[in-house]
Amino acid sequence: AQSVSQHNHHVILSEAASLELGCNYSYGGTVNLFWYVQYPGQHLQLLLKYFSGDPLVKGIKGFEAEFIKSKFSFNLRKPSVQWSDTAEYFCAPRDDKIIFGKGTRLHILP
Amino acid sequence: DAGVTQSPTHLIKTRGQQVTLRCSPKSGHDTVSWYQQALGQGPQFIFQYYEEEERQRGNFPDRFSGHQFPNYSSELNVNALLLGDSALYLCASSSPMIIETQYFGPGTRLLVL
């Protein structure tokens, strides 16, 4: 069965720290990969996406993610986080249907 | 340009009742998807509507049904409500040109007592 796993449920970092949020999926074949973010009090919004081509994709606000096909992973990274990055982050692979992970709550200490 | 709008914002029902939730897609979008997000979980795909027909469906019982109107707005209906149906219901729309990118609404929070 299709599934997605986000490794961390809660992450607390200080400003300027580096961030990596893990995401693994169980799909085979062609997969589209998404990271969504939900800032406090706001709607879910797309952070970045991978369809094909360069496995390193860049999104909004300095985020990037790397698709590693052999590891079925699509980890989200940011070199230096800001307090405004406090949010919940969802990994969402799509085969014929999109499936969201359980989310990672990121809290950045000022 | 209005984004995706949903109504109502909050709703309280009792077990066994029926509920209808509404969604208006972003301007220019013709595809609407519905998701259920239980507390502490990610959104779960319920179904997707395109050209007034259900195009895809997730693992939800037939108690969950929907409709899409000619103006692309959509309704989600849930019959015979259960306590476990309490959740945030999200609507997302996408355009015919960039169908993989979905724009989400604020959701309707349903509480079943």
What would the mean pLDDT of B7-28 be, rounded to a whole number? 96
Q: Report whether pLDDT(B96) > 90.
A: no
Assess whether pLDDT exceeds 90 at residue A27.
Answer: no
Read off the amino acid at residue B106: P
Half-sphere exposure of A69 (CA within 13 A, CB side): 11
Mean pLDDT computed over A60-84: 95
B95 shares contact with chain A (CB less than 8 Å)? no
Could you tell me which residue, B86 or A70, shows the higher pLDDT? Answer: B86
Is pLDDT larger for residue A30 or for residue A13? A13
Question: Hey, are the CB atoms on A103 and B44 less than 8 Å from each other?
Answer: no
pLDDT band of B1, cuts 50, 70, 90 = low
Q: Is B2 a residue whose pLDDT tops 80?
A: no
pLDDT score for A79: 97
B16/B80 Cα distance (integer angstroms):
4
DSSP symbols for B36-86: EE-TTS--EEEEEEETTEEEEE-S--TTEEEEE-TTS-EEEEE-S--GGG-
pLDDT range class, residue B98, cuts 50, 70, 90: low
**Which two structure tokens, joined as six digits, stand for B70?**
């000619």
Q: Which residue has the tokens 């797309």?
A: A46
CB atoms within 10 A of CB A37: 23
* Residue range B61-84, pLDDT digits in tens: 999 999 999 999 999 999 999 999
pLDDT on residue A83:
96
Cβ contact, residue pair B45, A90, below 8 Å = no
For residue A88, give the chain B residue with the closest CA. Answer: B42
pLDDT score of A45? 92
Which pLDDT value is given to residue A8? 87
CB–CB of B42 and A32 under 8 A? Answer: no
> Does the structure show a pLDDT above 80 at B89?
yes
- Cβ(B65)–Cβ(B58) under 8 Å? no
The pLDDT of residue A1: 62
pLDDT in tens, B32-57: 999 999 998 999 999 999 999 999 99
Handedness of CA A63, A67, A71, A74 (dihedral sign): positive
**Which pLDDT score, from 0 to 100, does residue A98 have?**
86
Per the CB < 8 Å rule, is B40 touching A102?
A: yes
Contact B5, B103 (CB under 8 A): no
